[in-house]
Structure 1
């Protein structure tokens, strides 16, 4: 693993407060390579009291940051983007080492998504405008109604391991672009990658205290949510944790991006070869550890056998192994929790009659690319998000059955639909509750300037672009009465 941060000072990357790094007050924790199983390094660990200190730092920095001219903020955000691109290879190598993402996918995360998010947030800030309204309540021209936006204050940003830099940068960039200050709790599985991003802030000119970092485990994130100075929260992670955050953050703006059920529907008129490629990406991209993964393949009985045969053949071509090699297409799972859940779901399905095909090693955190056929609705793998490299295939008889299954989980992040018929695509897309439906495209496709988020147990709100800015600002309306000539009857309707 290459890094600008010398190993002797990694321990001090536990707490970023007031623009200075410290080790944290709760000792250290290991970050372990999913590939080798060996500890990569130890890093400073924060306590809940550190989280409270970071909140105080963010609060103290807020007044000055909120009144900083937007063109100054934009220049800082663009500079962060530039510096991230200059260090993108080092950050990518760190992501690969820490979470087992292939080096090609890690580079994609940094170059294509994470670094550009700072420039995009700068442009959104320059274009996040208010409105003026006519007076409709009185028969007068003396009123002026003006809407503007004000920042919330201190925002907690709690981010996951699977896109440790991308998801974090989206949230951080837009939160500070909106005029907020932030306390960021990164994933403990990607602590160094996130610290490398945080190292850029001061060099780019971001004032001390605008973004603070607390490394550690769940107790630190919980302390951020519990702190009364927290005025808004961004969280990406499990539905169970998201529900706890929502309960504790009542009456505060929230953007929660939670689990997905990924129905991947293939109808008889679909381009089967294209659907196979889409499913390969949907099921096995980053070993299935993506909230938008294809968690359930719903394949019409008329093309079921053809699809399964081609899908197995294509899966057998995957190059699975060391994620640091540019030829590798799928690496290990990130942690034991994900592995245990994957094993449990697959074992349950096989015990209930599913047939299994596996490709690749099963060693340590490596789990094979797994295809399950004869899958039925009573299996755990259909009822819960697996978050692993498994493709459960369910044979369906009709579009109506696909819609019924797609609506059955209580989750609703992204669905994928494969058909050549425009009317069918439109009607099925409308019938599914999901925040996004990708037609003739893998479930793992998203656009960084389009609204992203789910319904039901998949979350609250929409991130990216203006939707993020809207969530983390408050609308303020100012009504002016300029005086002048008074109307004899000012009431809008009159007569009462």
Structure 2
């Protein structure tokens, strides 16, 4: 089995063709700066072509037998399993994933694909009890139509696959726009896999293009029925505004930013709390929406926790993402490095105590830990999306809960305690879509609802929740 090759081509209506934009996407390895691919970007002309093909394909694919769609999804899983090492290597090269993170991402994608294989048989019609004895009442569940997917660069393969395979399994067609930093693992790689699995022409197209050139047009276009967006809150709010206020009203599924707290209560196992902190914050350089963005620690154990945390963090291996031991690899690009440097500089200039730092070399930023952080500071309130951790002291449990909820975000969260009942009560008081007791804030399960509250998004992914998002309900009555 040969490895996939990627040339200067987009995947539109079942054909590999060059994009029609004058802009060229420079696809660069974030660790060694080697050129992976120069890709002629897609233009609005390509967007029109992809949507037209998707609309045409939907008419047939939505009527395809459920078993045929299930078989297609299972073929995708089989291909992925056989090409696992190849996909892992591509993620390391293109997205700066460490080997650990790349394997986690592939496993997550496989899990959602296997779950999606059950979806064709779960889109069920149902009969209602009619108040009129002379009429029958039915509810029909149908595929929605053309789904537009906009995916990010941090977990490009999984977060693209999560929407794409779900939509296709149900009977929708898809046009996917991956992030420009990860056009292969976020898009073109999926096209290769579905093409190998014999997906009918037009059911999936992939367009890599500049947000400035095709972003708004991609969302406001007349054809897509739903926009599935994963990315920053600011961009997501713009997507939602276009989707619901334009001439063509459409649904949105938004998975946005986070400011996940890890709360360490006074009865916590400190060694466990430290390990949860290290993995929850520094996995994939902190470039995860669910990443532990701040730690809130009860004053009674604060000093002991900080001492253990700093000692453990000094052992973290950072640098070359191809090495098995590396936990922190490169930041995705120079712009993101500059943003993180500015966050660190601002915190230091305002007198925040930097308990652990280090030299930034290229795109690799070693772990930076700030202690005694003001909970109202920008460092504590905003998502850094990097290996920067603020540690905040809470007076007691009530104050810890107040601090945990003091954010405009509400995606993921975690609490560490030796008392499970106490942990559950605390978890249910956090204003977030997800909370994990004695586990890291980074977690995903294809059968569990994934999503957030407040400025962290709208809707839920995975399981029957995503079935509702990506399908439509049609009520029909008929006389007896």
TM-score range, shorter chain: over 0.9
Larger Rg: 1
Name the counterpart of 1:182: 174
- Contact 1:151 / 1:474 at 8 angstroms: preserved in 2? yes
Q: How does 1:5-404 map to 2 (within 5 A)?
A: 5-6=4-5, 10-12=7-9, 15-27=10-22, 28-110=24-106, 112-135=107-130, 137-138=131-132, 140=133, 142-193=134-185, 194-218=187-211, 219-250=213-244, 251-358=249-356, 361-404=359-402
Name the counterpart of 1:4: 3
- Which whole-Å CA distance do the structure 2 matches of 1:104 and 1:442 have between them? 15
Name the counterpart of 1:486: none
Query: How many pairs are equivalent?
Result: 473
- Which whole-Å CA distance do the structure 1 matches of 2:339 and 2:428 have between them? 32
How far off is 1:130 after superposition? 2.9
- Contact 1:352 / 1:379 at 8 angstroms: preserved in 2? no
- Which whole-Å CA distance do the structure 2 matches of 1:152 and 1:124 have between them? 14
Deviating above 3 A after TM superposition, structure 1's stretches of 4 or more consecutive aligned residues are: 357-361
How far off is 1:50 after superposition? 1.1
Instruction: Rate the CA distance shift 1:387–1:55 in 2: closer, same or farther, 3 A.
Output: same
- Which whole-Å CA distance do the structure 2 matches of 1:418 and 1:79 have between them? 41
How far off is 1:386 after superposition? 0.6
Deviates more, 1:34-43 or 1:429-438: 34-43
How far off is 1:31 after superposition? 0.9
How far off is 1:346 after superposition? 1.7
Q: How big is the alpha-carbon RMSD for the aligned residues of Structure 1 and Structure 2?
A: 1.6
- Which whole-Å CA distance do the structure 1 matches of 2:466 and 2:398 have between them? 35
- Contact 2:123 / 2:142 at 8 angstroms: preserved in 1? no
- Which whole-Å CA distance do the structure 2 matches of 1:31 and 1:364 have between them? 17
- Which whole-Å CA distance do the structure 1 matches of 2:111 and 2:215 have between them? 26
TM superposition score normalised by structure 2: 0.95
- Which whole-Å CA distance do the structure 2 matches of 1:173 and 1:206 have between them? 11
- Contact 2:56 / 2:202 at 8 angstroms: preserved in 1? yes
Give per-residue Cα distances to partners, 1:311-334, cap 9 Å, x unaligned.
111111111110011222211111
How far off is 1:360 after superposition? 5.5
How far off is 1:449 after superposition? 1.2
- Which whole-Å CA distance do the structure 2 matches of 1:407 and 1:131 have between them? 40
- Which whole-Å CA distance do the structure 1 matches of 2:455 and 2:156 have between them? 22
Give the match's secondary structure for 1:318: coil
Unaligned residue ranges in structure 2 (runs of 5+) = none
Name the counterpart of 1:491: none
How far off is 1:344 after superposition? 1.7
How far off is 1:445 after superposition? 2.0
